[in-house]
Chains A and B, each alone.
Chain A
Amino acid sequence: MGDISPFQFQVVAALIFLIGVAGVLTRRNMIVMFMCIELMLNAANLSLVAFSREIGDDQGQIFAFLVMVVAAVEVAVGLAIIISLVRNRDTVNIEDASQMKW
C-alpha cells in the first residue's frame, strides 16, 4: 500500500462525513440534504472497510454491504416521501415542512 497508513483512510472518511454534516446543517433543499445523508453513510462505509483491511478480516465489508442495502431502501422511501410532500406543498424548502401536520 505504499506509504499510505490506515489512518489516512479514516481521515478521508471523517472529512467526507463532516462535509455531509455541514450540508445537512446549511442547505435547505430537501433533496440536497438527502444527498448529504448519503454522503455520511458512505463515509461510515469507507471507515468500516478501512478498519476491516487494517485488522485483515473481511467482516467489516459485510457490514458495509448491509449498510448499502439499508441506504438503498432509505433512498426509495425518502424520495417517495419528498414526492408526496411536493405534491401537497409545492416546495422542496425544508422550512416549509416544519410542522408535522397541516
Chain B
Amino acid sequence: MKTALFWIFSVAALGGAVGVVGNVRNPINSALNLVVSMLALAGLYVLLEAQFVGLIQVMVYAGAIVVLFLFVIMLLNLRGSGTSGAEVQPLVKIAGTALVAFSGLFLVRVLASGRAPWPDVDPSYGTTRAIGEALYTDYVLAVQLAGVLLLAGILAAVVLAKKRID
C-alpha cells in the first residue's frame, strides 16, 4: 500500500514539475501544474510521517503561494505576451543533457543498491504537538526571526507593488 502510494505521489510530483517547465504557452498552466506537484509532495511528507509539514505544505504552498502566482499572472494579463522566445544556447543544452545523464546514472546506481532499514519512531513523531513544542522551546529565536522576516516581507511587497511612491 505504502509502496504504491510512494510511486503514485512521486510520479505526480515529477510530472507536475515537468509540466511547470514544459508548458511554454500559458503561465497559468504552469501554475496549475505547480499545484499538482505541491500536493503530491504533501502526500510524500505524510508517507514520511511528517503530518505537520504535509499540512503546512498544502496550506502554504498549494493554498497561498500558488494563488499568489495565479493572481499576479491574471493581474498582469500575461497571456503569451512576449513569453515565447525560448531560444536556448547550445552550451546550455549540452550542459543540461550531461547533467541529466549523470543524474540518471546516479539514479540507477541508487535504486540498485541495498535497502536501508527505516528506524522505528514513537507515535508522536512529526505531529503538530511535537513540532510545536520544539518550535516554541528550542527554536523560539528562529520563530521570532521568522515573524520579523514576514513583517518585513509584507511591508516590502506593499511598497514595491504600489503604483506611485509618495
Contacts and interface: CB of A to CB of B under 8 A. Distances in A.
Interface string A11-29: 1101110111111011111
Contacts of B56: 65, 68
Interface in A46-79: 46, 49-50, 52-56, 58-59, 61-62, 64-66, 68-77, 79
17 contacts: A16-B41, A19-B21, A23-B20, A25-B88, A27-B24, A29-B78, A31-B30, A39-B34, A52-B50, A54-B116, A54-B118, A61-B50, A61-B131, A68-B53, A79-B72, A83-B72, A93-B82
A62 B45 CA distance: 13
Interface residues of B, number: 86
Nearest to B27: A31
Nearest to A50: B48
Contact of B131 (A62, A72, A96): A62
B41 A46 contact: yes
Interface residues of A, number: 73
A5 B96 contact: no
Secondary structure type dominating chain A contacts: helix
Interface of A: 1-12, 14-16, 18-23, 25-29, 31-32, 34-36, 38-39, 42, 45-46, 49-50, 52-56, 58-59, 61-62, 64-66, 68-77, 79-84, 86-87, 91-93, 95-96
B52 to A, nearest CB: 7
Nearest to A7: B110
Interface in B50-66: 50, 52-53, 56-57, 60-61, 64-65
